[in-house]
Every structure is written in C-alpha cells, then in structure tokens.
Chain A
Amino acid sequence: MGLGSVKFLLNHFSQDSDSGDQVYDNTGKEDVTAFEPTLFIVANVDEDTDIKANFVLDTWTAASDTALDGETGASGGGIGNQSRFAGQIGYIKGDELNGHSYNLGISTEYDYRSLSLGGNWTRSFAEDNFTFSVTPQLFLDKAKDFDLENKKEIDFKSRTIWSLDLTGTQLLSPTDLIQFGYTHIQMNGMLNSIAGTVRVDTETTDLFGRQSEKMPSKRIRHALHSKWVHSLSQSSAFHLSYRYYQDDWDIKAHTLEWGPRFSFAQDQYFLMPTLRYYDQTEADFFETSFASEKKHMTSDSDLEEFNSVRYGLAFSSEANTVNVFGYDSDLQWSVGAYHTDRSNDMKYQVLQVGIGLSF
C-alpha cells in the first residue's frame, strides 16, 4: 500500500466578450482572466481508507465588476484583482462491495461565502458488473448583492443549494462500460448574479438606465446524464456522453461530448482530444433590455439562448520513478488546452498544467 499522493494543478481561464447585456455600463464587456492554483492531497490510512483534501486560491480580474464598482464604489478605482480561497476535506472508506465517502468544504471571497457538506454511497451488484451510487450535496452559501438605487452593497443574503445524484454503472462487455444517472438540484434564496443588471427603458434615475436583475428565489433543476466508454484496442478507446437538462426557469439544454483516447509506450503516455457541443434555450424572464420593470428580469448572457462548441486536447505522462526525500515515488505531469466558441459572441479558453507525485 502506498502512502498517498500530492498533485499541484494550475488552471488558467480567459474569456472575451463584448455582448453581455447584463453589464452595468452598457459596454457589454465580459472579459475575465482567472488563475486557479489547486493542491490535491491523498493520504492512504489503510487498505480501505483514504483521507483527501484540496485547497484552492483563485485570483481574477473581471471587466464587468470593474465597471460597476468604478462607477459606484467608495474607492472609485473599480475592483481590480479579486481572490477566493476554498478548501475541502474528505474521508473515503470502501471494500469490494461497498464504498462511502463524506466531505466538508468552505469557500470565501469578498462577496460570497460557502459551506458545503456532501457524501457518496456506492454498492456493487451482480459480481461487480453493476454499481449504483447515491451522492447528496448541500451548500449553505451567502452572497452579497448590489443596490444600484442607493449605490451600495447589500449585506450577505443566504443561498441554499442541495442536490441528489443517482448513478448506475454497468459493464456491458469486456470492452464496453456505460453509465446512466439523474441529478436533482434545488436552489433557494438570493439567486441574483452578483453585479448583474438589466437595462429598463423607463428607468430615469440611474446614469445608464439600469436596475438590478431580479431572479426568482427558487430554482428546481433536473439532469439526465449518460456516458459510454468503448475500447477499440489495448491502447485506444473512445467515449461518448450525453446530458438532457431542464429547469423551472424554462431552460432546456442538450450536451454531447465525444473523444478518442490513446495510450502509448505501455500506458506511460495518455492523449485525449475532445469535442463538446452544448445547446440551451433562454430563461423565460430573459430579455436583452426591458420596456418596463417586471417581477423577474435578467439580461445575463449565460441565460440567453445559445449553443457552444468546445475543442480540447489533454496529454499526460505517468509513472516516471524519482527519489524524493529518500522515498521512491512516481512522477506524473499533465497539460491540457480547451477553447470554447459560443454563438452569442463569447469565447473562452482553459489552460491546465499539473504535476504530481505518488508515494
């Protein structure tokens, strides 16, 4: 039994868009740059027990936040760099038939706080040909909103999210594995996007004719998801996944992802190109601008009707033995790049670099 593993993963996210109708100053600029270094630690306690932890420190710059606070904030200089700290710790126990895990997480940033609790229970049936898992999660979050009329932040308001995922995985043949599942998500409380605004033609007091967006205080979401992995040879396979989603905000979405997978040099190297297509309808209270004030209003481009295509490539190297502090360990590294084009004039990229050691 090994001692465990440590992995450092650096995520970089950049987004370009001039079409965000929710942006306060009417420029539509939604540019975002974010760095998210993450540390993953796994400690093997015994043959059946692991302790897992991960720690995240995000920093980012968002054009839309800067526009809002630049107009109204006390500093007058806008919000430059923001940051978020998050951590999660988990306990995992499993034997041949049953597995269970529990996790506790926190996250904090200047306008958002989160406490999360989660679990997972898994049981195998039919000589491990079928596995069924139940995954509940609870987020006890708090978010600040922005009062445009009085030009000040509003104190933290609660946002509670709970979800339940039921997933079954079946071995179909020595070369085929399929998975089906359902996720139910319920959100309650302050669901406004932080700093999200709408343009209202009859608005006369605000400099840019804007009001804060008004979301319903409840959202019930459903997702049916499936995945198929098929082996083509000892060193190649492909996966295909599909998800159907709908919620009571009238959004319906289809997600399709496909990609081959290759291993080289006796599984030392791994290559995975992917293609992901996503399509959604708009929320029933979405408009790019409003003739008059309504009970629920949003112009958030993420809730607009659009489709997107993501092209990705991931590569990793496994198991190069090195000596670290007197311990023989396996060194792994990985790189990944993903580019997404959205039909409502947004593009975003993700770059990932990881390095890890298993002891």
Chain B
Amino acid sequence: MRFFKVCIFLLIAYFISGCANVKQIERGRMATKIMQLEPQPEEAKFLNSVNSYREGAAGGSSAVGGGCGCN
C-alpha cells in the first residue's frame, strides 16, 4: 500500500506543478479521433465489462465489477 500511495502522490505533485508546455494553437491534432484516449467509448464499455468478469483484475479502464451477476 505504501508503494501505491507514494506513486500517487508523486504523480499528482508532478502534474499539478507542470508548466503549460503545449499552447492552444498547437493542439490541432489533439481534437482528432485518433488522438482520443478512448476513441470508441460506447464500444469500450462492453469490452471493459467482458474484461472485468473474465479476469481477476478490475479498475483502470475495466469496469469495477458491480452491476451484474456475470462474475
């Protein structure tokens, strides 16, 4: 648990203190579908559910495991 807490603290501290390194005018590509973190959110919802009930792991992109008797 200590490992997780240290990782989270360092990540949050790093990002919040980060300077603005990409200006608005430079973000043209970020708006395209190929640059989205999840380009197909509706399709991903079902795939993530399958992962959560066919695998011991959950969290992150996968569903957290509630909502159906699948697992």
Contacts and interface: CB of A to CB of B under 8 A. Distances in A.
Say whether A associates with B. yes
Interface of A: 7, 9, 11, 13, 15, 36, 38, 40, 54, 58, 84, 86, 105, 107, 109, 111-112, 114, 116, 125-130, 132, 137, 139, 141, 143, 159, 161, 163, 165-166, 168-175, 177, 179-185, 187, 193-194, 221-225, 227, 229, 231, 234-237, 239, 241, 243, 245, 247, 249, 251, 253, 255, 261-263, 267, 270, 272, 278, 280, 283, 302-303, 308, 314, 316, 318, 334, 336, 338, 340, 342, 346, 348, 350, 352, 354
Contact of A253 (B4, B56, B69): B56
A173 B15 contact: no
Given A109-B69, A129-B22, A280-B57, A261 B34 contact: yes
Interface residues on B, range: 35 or more
A139 B67 CA distance: 7
B18 to A, nearest CB: 5
B22 to A, nearest CB: 4
Contacts, number: 213
Contacts of B61: 225, 227, 241, 243
25 contacts: A9-B42, A38-B42, A54-B42, A116-B67, A126-B18, A127-B20, A128-B24, A130-B15, A161-B65, A163-B64, A166-B8, A172-B22, A173-B21, A177-B30, A182-B7, A182-B8, A183-B64, A184-B59, A185-B64, A237-B35, A251-B56, A261-B33, A314-B40, A316-B40, A350-B50
Given A116-B66, A261-B39, A350-B50, 5 more contacts: A111-B69, A165-B59, A166-B12, A174-B30, A185-B64
B29 to A, nearest CB: 5
B59 A278 contact: no
Nearest to B17: A126
Given A221-B58, A348-B54, A177 B37 contact: yes
A129 B53 CA distance: 35
Interface in B13-71: 15-16, 18-24, 26-30, 32-37, 39-40, 42-43, 45-47, 50-51, 53-62, 64-69, 71
Interface of B: 1, 4, 7-8, 11-12, 15-16, 18-24, 26-30, 32-37, 39-40, 42-43, 45-47, 50-51, 53-62, 64-69, 71
A170 B15 contact: yes
B43 A9 contact: yes
Nearest to A250: B56
Given A13-B50, A334-B43, A139 B15 contact: no
Contacts of A231: 29, 34-35
